């Protein structure tokens, strides 16, 4: 199992030569983040994930608070 982890490319390696214009690194790993209406995009934390993502659930309150603060002027 450890050998398998060593062979997996790291996020930095995957996105090293890709243009980064308005999208986060997660876009290149899971483009569904940008295709589904229930996607949660939070540039304050530099993370864009679906609401079902464990990373989102781990930092849910902080992510939603920062997202709400960023777009407070729209409400």
* pTM greater than 0.75 (yes/no): no
| Helix (H) or strand (E) run with residue 33 in it | helix 32-35
Query: Would you list the domain boundaries of the chain?
Result: 2-74
**pLDDT tens, residue by residue, 13-69:** 655 555 545 555 555 666 665 565 555 555 544 555 555 666 666 677 877 787 788
């Amino acid at each position: 199992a450890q050998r398998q982890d060593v062979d997996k490319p790291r996020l930095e390696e995957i996105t090293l030569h890709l243009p980064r214009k308005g999208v986060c690194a997660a876009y290149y790993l899971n483009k569904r983040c940008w295709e589904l209406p229930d996607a949660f995009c939070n540039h304050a934390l530099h993370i864009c994930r679906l609401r079902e993502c464990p990373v989102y659930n781990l930092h849910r309150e902080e992510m939603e608070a920062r997202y709400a603060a960023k777009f407070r002027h729209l409400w």
